[in-house]
Amino acid sequence: MTKLTFTAHPFLLGFDQLERLVERTAKSGNDGYPPFNIEQCGEHAYRITLALAGFREEDLSITVEDRQLVVRGRQGDDGADRVFLHRGIAARQFQRAFVLAEGVEVAGATMENGLLHIDLKRAAPESVVQTIRISRG
């Protein structure tokens, strides 16, 4: 049986990149760690906030890879000589990915009180009208 994709529809020409983004998003089954919020801060501004208790700035990396914002965290093993009676604060590595829409860019990131804030901005869309000239064949 042939796999039918939504980009095979004749009205969806050139949307193969969108299909790849949808597939990548579906495959990135996150286990819910770290918890995060996404909020709209203005008409064209957004903020992603991740709760990262115990992580330092140098433990984190933020990259944009092919329209995907990827946040990775890895804590150093500085507690090797400590004995925990109970360990409830997660000290594991993680990777959290967010697919960015076309025109959305990362404006900056700040770390404050165990919360990582990543600010995003979307360029205001320009209204473009294009006239196509019909030539004689």
What does the DSSP assignment read for 82-109?
Answer: ---S---S----EEEEEEPPTTEEEEEE
Q: Average of pLDDT values for 14-41? A: 73
Specify the pTM: 0.69
All domains of the chain, ordered by start, with CATH?
Answer: 32-79+86-122 (2.60.40.790)
How far apart are the C-alpha atoms of 110 and 84, rounded to whole Å?
30
Determine the pLDDT at residue 126: 78
Would you say how long the chain is, in residues?
137
pLDDT tier at 66, thresholds 50, 70, 90: confident
What integer pLDDT is reported at residue 114 of this predicted model?
A: 92
Pair 114, 102: CB distance under 8 Å: no
If one compares 26 and 131, the residue with the highest pLDDT of the two is 131
- Helix (H) / strand (E) element for 25: namely helix 16-27
Task: Check whether the bond before 10 is cis (ω within 30° of 0).
Answer: no
